[in-house]
Amino acid sequence: AQRVTQPEKLLSVFKGAPVELKCNYSYSGSPELFWYVQYSRQRLQLLLRHISRESIKGFTADLNKGETSFHLKKPFAQEEDSAMYYCALRNPGGYQKVTFGTGTKLQVIP
């Protein structure tokens, strides 16, 4: 069974402080990991995926297979980063099931 765990429901940081949103997963294989974001009054949308290894809006995430983690990081938080963040795992095989974590609300304090 595949599972995604986001241990923090709420993370509050001051503007300019570093951010790390934690995500751990359980999957027997090589999964595809994603971070989705939902800004206030907007639909859920993709932020980044591990296979592209790119930085989006200053956010990066590295897949650590040894620790089964895919933490989302940003060195300097901005007020516009305040949103709900969901980590997701996709089974890349024929089944291609996508499982989401429970989400972490990031609150950036001015």
Partner 1 sequence: EAGVVQSPRYKIIEKKQPVAFWCNPISGHNTLYWYLQNLGQGPELLIRYENEEAVDDSQLPKDRFSAERLKGVDSTLKIQPAELGDSAVYLCASSLASTGELFFGEGSRLTVL
Quick check: 105 and 84 in contact, CB under 8 A? yes
Residue of 72, 86, 106, 108 interacting with partner 1 (CB under 8 A): 86
| Whole-angstrom distance, CA of residue 54 vs CA of residue 31 | 18
Applying CB under 8 A, does 78 fall inside the site for partner 1? no
Residue of 1, 14, 43, 110 interacting with partner 1 (CB under 8 A): 43
Tell me the helices (H) and strands (E) count for the chain, helix number first: 0, 11
15 to 34, contacts with partner 1 by CB under 8 A?
32, 34
Applying CB under 8 A, does 53 fall inside the site for partner 1? no
Residue of 11, 22, 24, 44 interacting with partner 1 (CB under 8 A): 44
User: 25 - beta bridge partners?
Assistant: 4
List the strands of the sheet with 60-61, edge to edge: 19-21, 72-74, 60-61
Residue of 15, 16, 46, 93 interacting with partner 1 (CB under 8 A): 46
Count the helix, strand and coil residues of the chain and give each as a percent rounded to the nearest 5: 5, 45, 50
Residues that bind partner 1 (CB under 8 A): 4, 6, 9, 32, 34, 36, 43-46, 49, 86, 88, 90, 92, 95-103
